[in-house]
Structure 1
């Protein structure tokens, strides 16, 4: 009995450790060069998200004098709807949350504008950190545990359940895309087959017509019987 209990405890611990390791995310870090106002070209980073999905965008800008960093998050629709915007970024994490209405890329565009009187220079840069939390990653489990009075093990299992649910959703999405791509490939192959058949028929017809035409031409010129 003790051995069974120990094995179950180890298994649950390994599951919890795996879920914790899988949920660790690394923010995207890069240096954003400063540009003059009116001549700036935004630097954009995109991330694909399914429809009806909760998304939290977290952004932080490092120190940099005489530079103003702004971020705007939009979707990739024709209208490029604005989902979140933040001006005058600082060294504290800024959070923007929203619910996607359609599947597609969400695009975060950054601008770093110099103050009046300053010219672009390699030393004028600010370090940017960007992190996307999607689906279950947006859940505040501390508040959830307090609200539902969950024990530590129950909380970890809830995290694991949400993570597995996200994985299942992603697998179903990949499966749907695979089916769509397979149908497209089969349709393309069918069209190629008919096009190849039509091409062969046209070539054979032209060849026969050319033979009969030349034969008739040579007989008319009395070059052959």
Structure 2
């Protein structure tokens, strides 16, 4: 059920957008942070906004905006003038906190509108859901592979033991046969020696 709901939700691209306003004091710098994952497409939109229903003074100095990545490297910078939207699209190269800083050199408080949208590819989202669903099956397959390897190793060990036992048995049989043959030769030799010795003994006694 959970998988069906997730796949249904992944039928379209997933997006997350949030916006806010902030006031920048004269000669001051204000920074915000936005957490982005790896390879996440993001869209930043900046513009100046009027305060207290007063029109903007286009002759005054504007607000300088700069975006830096987690390593502190500047990836975007521009001066904002007027209520015209300034857009910046970027795909994150690595996960981390991206900083958005506004600096004002005007003589009055400047208001800035900021919106950040993060867009996720539906195909990638469906792929991640499928991978999540396949994890239990992959776990079972991994366990089955481990069991097959263990059985194969046990069979190899059994074959090795059988070969060693066979070699030991053949070697032992050869030793037994050699010992038996040696015993027969010794007995025959002793018998022949006894016969010769007895003949000499009897002849010396003149019994033969």
Q: Which range, TM-score by smaller chain?
A: 0.3 to 0.5
Larger radius of gyration: 2
More strand by share: 2
TM superposition score normalised by structure 1: 0.43
TM superposition score normalised by structure 2: 0.46
